[in-house]
Amino acid sequence: MNNLVLLIGNDINNISGGQSWKDLLQDIIAFCHAGDCIDLDEKKPFPLLYEEIFLTASKREKIREKDLKSFIAIKTAEIKGNEIHQAIRALKPAHILTTNYEFTLEGSIPLENTSLIKEKFYSIFRRYKMHDIHYWHIHGDCLNPMSINLGFEHYGGQLQLMRNYVVSGTFYTSKDVPKASLLRRIHARQVHYHSWIDLFFTHDIHIFGLSLDFVETDLWWLLTYRARQKFHHKNVPVNHDIYYYIPEEYLAASKFKLDLLAANDVTIVSLPGKDKLAYYKAILEHISKFK
């Protein structure tokens, strides 16, 4: 049985060309009529920059966030797939986690939402299934624009629900959602993969195409909490590995981040990255050996 679990970010989309993330940011500013007052200083963390853009537009234009996120959903849905998306599907992993909002990884818009519950805003259980692969859109998806996770407030709400799910237990009204925390369920050997979060404590995970900037507070918290369980609290067994793939040309400039990942029990795998297409093919070849 193939138990591969992949966590994939937006960089694989850059092979397709077309609209970049910077292009999308400019489109968002133009849509909000905020170009005359937004300073795109690189020192601004993106979730807070998003809040600046939205709040400025909200004060001046009375724009609704629903309209803004619907616009973003339309723009990201225009991203085209490429041969790396196809190669990932051909690998036939059991689970694909992604921070991407569009469905290029699936290859088409999924017809079946297999989430434990239907979430409007946050993405603890957001799952689709196609061709025996479970796709978890952990930062929202284009079919549900308000679920698209961009702003600081949204990250805060997501993290709150994640910590409840892992540590203290949930408060959902649905009877299908387990009330006991993930830690308690691991102790009781009752883990049924209701959420993508379960996989971080039960499976090897291969992370690529994801910069893992520090603004990804939800993922950094999860990595940190998992490492604390393994080395400090030791309340539950943590016996699986996490691999982070990075172009070898970025090793020196990214040392500060790689040091932090290593402290959080993440194994760094570097491969030649000057040719982006060849780089991702090499990653998939490396991962295929874990099948």
Average pLDDT (262-281) is: 97
Residue type at 163 in one-letter notation: R
Residue 153's Cα: distance from chain center in Å? 17
Query: Is the pLDDT score of 17 beyond 80?
Result: no
Say how far apart CA 5 and CA 282 lie, in whole Å.
Answer: 17
Q: Are 142 and 73 in contact (CB under 8 A)?
A: yes
Report the share of the chain in percent with pLDDT over 70.
99
Q: Check residue 22 and give its pLDDT.
A: 79
Q: Check residue 282 and give its pLDDT.
A: 98
Q: Check residue 64 and give its pLDDT.
A: 92
Label residue 8 by pLDDT band (50, 70, 90): very high
Q: What is the tens place of the pLDDT at every residue in 126-180?
A: 999 999 999 999 999 999 999 999 999 999 999 999 999 999 999 999 999 999 9
Label residue 21 by pLDDT band (50, 70, 90): confident
Label residue 253 by pLDDT band (50, 70, 90): very high
Q: Check residue 1 and give its pLDDT.
A: 47
Domain spans of the chain? 5-13+81-288, 19-78
Residue-averaged pLDDT of the chain = 94
Average pLDDT (71-87) is: 94
Say how far apart CA 33 and CA 13 lie, in whole Å.
Answer: 27
Label residue 249 by pLDDT band (50, 70, 90): very high
